Amino acid sequence: MFQEALFQTALGVMVNRFEILRSISMKLYIYDHCPFCVRARMIFGLRDVAVEEVVLANDDETTPIGMIGSKQVPILQKEDGSFMGESLDIVRYIDQGRLKEEVRPEVQAWLDKVGEYNNKLVQPRMVKIGLPEFETDEAKKYFIDKKEKSIGNFETNLNKTAQYLERLHQDLAELEALVCEGEGLGGEISLEDILTFPILRNLTVVRGIQWPQKLMDYLLAMSERSGVALYFDRAL
């Protein structure tokens, strides 16, 4: 009788612990403007996995450092309460090996080329469109001070929009030629999409881009599938 009672007690503790763990939903700590965060957000939408998104203030250093030891996002709080950083680690954790990992060399070359200047178009606009991570003047100043060290003065970059767009339009035409028939950029959802869609999505904050039709169709379809909204409605 004693052993049976002990077993039942232990079983009850295990069941209760399991139920407690199940009741802790996953949380994804992000900035809305962050392309690395978009990578992680995409996989939850594409795989229909529930997650609570929590937007941190851009000048909040304490929260992310307390979670993973550095100020960076995205951060995933898993069901057991532990934390995971690094966007592609989160993608692979949720995806569980289903994504095709290969990235065509020409797509990677495109990402590298556009990565040299796209932030000069995007970042100066992000602090002007009412994103939750920039609700306070302190958060805006934190972002501007940090990013101007790498891309230069925001207003100067805004004044060079036409110059950057001329270059971007050539590069978008090049990317359109790489779009295959099917669901993803290469014909199926793959790592290419996880890397490329966040860049294109953030560029929707720029007014005046002449989007090639295949890329516009891709943006709209991937936004719907992933649940990550575009910025067309507030482009500057």
Non-local CB neighbours of 180 within 8 Å, separated by 6+ positions: 186, 187
Buried b (16+ CB within 10 A) or exposed e, 165-194: beebeeebeebeeebeeebbbbeebbbbbb
Q: What is the pLDDT of residue 101?
A: 94
Strand stretches in the chain, DSSP E = 27-30, 52-55, 75-77, 83-84
- Digit-coded pLDDT (tens) for 181-221: 999 999 999 999 999 999 999 999 999 999 999 999 999 99
CATH for the 2-95 domain, from 3.90.1580.10, 3.40.30.10, 3.40.50.720, 1.10.569.10 = 3.40.30.10
pLDDT band at 18 (very low <50, low <70, confident <90, very high): very low
Non-local CB neighbours of 213 within 8 Å, separated by 6+ positions: 176
Averaged pLDDT score across all residues of the chain: 93
CATH 3.40.30.10 domain range(s) in the chain = 2-95
CATH 1.20.1050.10 domain range(s) in the chain = 105-234
Q: What is the pLDDT of residue 15?
A: 41
Determine if the pTM surpasses 0.85.
Answer: yes
- Do the beta carbons of residue 199 and residue 111 sit within 8 Å? yes
The CATH fold of domain 105-234: Glutathione S-transferase Yfyf (Class Pi); Chain A, domain 2 (1.20.1050)
Q: What is the pLDDT of residue 196?
A: 99
pLDDT band at 95 (very low <50, low <70, confident <90, very high): very high
